[in-house]
């Protein structure tokens, strides 16, 4: 007697799969084209587990699409594995935890979340393609992550260095309090407090030296990462770096937002939405208005902001636009929002035509 999966496969069933991702275990639910639940499967987050999940899904029929939650975190490995085997992967947003009414109605479990992901894909409300994560842009993203961490640690060391000077013994405080940050690091790194801590003065010198050495080490690490990032950005998007005002840091932020496959973004409007510079409609009745978009990739949003502020000081076209819109009654923040939206349109064309694409 034939099993249900064999019968489904022979009858030409089109299967849609939703996956709820976790660190060690993924849970998948398969639906047919009519939304009927075919089965549930849990698999470990290993290549063998991914292969078992795909074999289980194909046992019900031809796999149409697989919707995955968290393709940028827990689901990144599964998404890459499936894309390498030409399986259509759709990025599904995680359920809104603030939707308490929906949670009370349908409950909360991994199979429930996986089924919601599958139904979202089946309904066509989830269409996003995940980032490929297999090229230069992924390398840029990981190095930017390390650089951001080093910058935070260096800032913390500098703040602690200045705070320690304020509470140092009088003789030491008088010597150090007027120094510039760079000179303070140089002087503190040259302290030789000795092996025996005989007084608070000696202990303070040791603490200052430790912070100054840490600051120098982090500065060297940041410089090394900057050199690597500059080379990677130049190879990934030379046309982007050719734009006046765009450096490796801002260009890297835009590349990391778009991913190794920027053509996954259907249009420049999708890129603007991704960067959080597309105004959101907030109309009701006879009132027609838009509100500020506070979502999107904040690093990419910051990169566009810096470029716009720079152009407002040296670009004649931008300055003429600012003057015209100011005469129309717009405030400076409103003008910057408009300029960021125009700039997203301009840069999207360069991203779509970059070697990374």
pLDDT of residue 10: 46
- Other beta carbons within 10 angstroms of residue 252's beta carbon come to 27
75 and 115 in a common domain? yes
Q: What percent of the chain has pLDDT over 90?
A: 62
Considering 123, 158, 182, which residue would you say is the last residue of a domain? 123
What average pLDDT score do residues 131-145 get?
Answer: 90
pLDDT for 55 beyond 70: yes
Structure tokens at 225: 């990462």
10 Å CB burial of residue 52 (0-12, 13-18, 19+) is middle
Within-domain flag for 276: yes
User: pLDDT tens digit string along 146-159?
Assistant: 999 999 999 999 99
Q: pTM here?
A: 0.81
Confidence of residue 134 (pLDDT cuts 50, 70, 90): confident
* Cα-based distances in Å from 173 to 55, 169, 205, 216: 70, 6, 11, 21
265 and 247 in a common domain? yes
User: pLDDT tens digit string along 227-237?
Assistant: 999 999 999 99
Range with the poorest average pLDDT among 132-141, 189-198, 327-336: 189-198
286 and 340 in a common domain? yes
Confidence of residue 103 (pLDDT cuts 50, 70, 90): low
251 and 173 in a common domain? no
Within-domain flag for 191: yes
Angle between helices 248-258 and 298-314 (to 10 degrees): 140
287 and 193 in a common domain? no
Cα 60–chain centre separation: 35
pLDDT of residue 2: 44
Confidence of residue 131 (pLDDT cuts 50, 70, 90): confident
Within-domain flag for 130: no
Within-domain flag for 328: yes
pLDDT of residue 70: 86
Within-domain flag for 128: no
Within-domain flag for 163: yes
The DSSP H or E segment spanning 41 is strand 37-44
277 and 223 in a common domain? no
Considering 236, 251, 271, which residue would you say is the last residue of a domain? 236
pLDDT of residue 1: 42
Q: Which of 166, 169, 190 is nearest to 178 (CA)?
A: 166
140 and 118 in a common domain? no
Q: Which of 69, 53, 65 is nearest to 15 (CA)?
A: 65
Confidence of residue 338 (pLDDT cuts 50, 70, 90): very high
Is there a contact between 343 and 307 (Cβ–Cβ < 8 Å)? yes
Mean pLDDT of the chain: 88
Could you tell me the residue range of the domain that residue 84 belongs to? 4-123
276 and 170 in a common domain? no
Q: Which of 157, 155, 190, 156 is nearest to 176 (CA)?
A: 190
SS3 202: helix
**Residue located via tokens 């304020």:** 166
115 and 10 in a common domain? yes
Rounded to whole angstroms, how far apart are CA atoms 75 and 134? 14
Rounded to whole angstroms, how far apart are CA atoms 9 and 265? 33
For the chain, how many structural domains are there in total?
3
pLDDT of residue 101: 58
Rounded to whole angstroms, how far apart are CA atoms 43 and 52? 7
What average pLDDT score do residues 71-87 get?
Answer: 91
Higher pLDDT, 102 or 167: 167
pLDDT for 34 beyond 70: yes
pLDDT of residue 212: 96
206 and 252 in a common domain? no
Within-domain flag for 131: no
What average pLDDT score do residues 197-224 get?
Answer: 93
Within-domain flag for 357: no
User: pLDDT tens digit string along 264-308?
Assistant: 888 899 899 999 998 877 777 877 777 778 888 899 999 999 999
Considering 236, 269, 299, which residue would you say is the last residue of a domain? 236
Is there a contact between 55 and 141 (Cβ–Cβ < 8 Å)? no
């Amino acid at each position: 007697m034939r099993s249900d999966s064999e019968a489904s496969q022979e009858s030409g069933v089109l299967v849609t799969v939703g996956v709820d991702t976790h660190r060690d275990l993924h849970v998948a639910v398969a639906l047919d084209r009519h939304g009927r639940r075919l089965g549930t499967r849990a698999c470990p987050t290993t290549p063998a587990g991914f292969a078992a999940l795909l074999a289980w899904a194909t046992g019900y029929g031809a796999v149409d699409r697989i919707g995955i939650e968290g393709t940028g975190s827990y689901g990144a490995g599964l998404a890459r594995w499936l894309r390498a085997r030409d399986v259509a992967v759709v990025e599904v947003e995680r359920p809104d935890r603030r939707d308490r009414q929906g949670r009370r109605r349908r409950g909360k479990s991994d199979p429930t979340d996986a089924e919601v992901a599958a139904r979202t894909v089946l309904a066509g409300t989830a269409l996003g393609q995940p980032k490929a994560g297999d090229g230069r842009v992924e390398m840029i993203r990981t190095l930017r992550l390390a650089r951001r961490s080093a910058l935070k640690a260096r800032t913390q060391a500098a703040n602690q260095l200045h705070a320690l000077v304020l509470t140092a013994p009088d003789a030491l405080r008088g010597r150090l309090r007027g120094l510039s940050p760079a000179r303070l690091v140089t002087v503190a790194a040259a302290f030789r407090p000795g092996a025996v801590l005989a007084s608070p003065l000696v202990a303070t010198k040791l603490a200052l030296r430790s912070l100054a050495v840490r600051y120098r080490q982090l500065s060297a690490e940041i410089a090394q990462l900057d050199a690597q990032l500059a080379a990677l950005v130049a190879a990934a998007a030379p046309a982007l770096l050719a734009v006046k005002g765009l450096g490796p840091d801002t260009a890297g932020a835009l590349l990391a937002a778009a991913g190794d496959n920027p053509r996954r973004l259907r249009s420049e409007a999708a890129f603007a939405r991704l960067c959080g510079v597309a105004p959101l409609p907030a109309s009701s009745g006879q009132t027609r208005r838009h509100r500020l978009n506070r979502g999107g990739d904040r690093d990419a949003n910051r990169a566009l902001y810096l470029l716009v502020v720079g152009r407002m000081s040296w670009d004649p076209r931008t300055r003429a636009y600012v003057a015209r819109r100011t005469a129309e009654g717009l405030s400076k923040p409103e003008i910057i929002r408009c300029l960021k939206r125009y700039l997203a349109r301009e840069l999207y064309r360069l991203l779509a035509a970059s070697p990374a694409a």
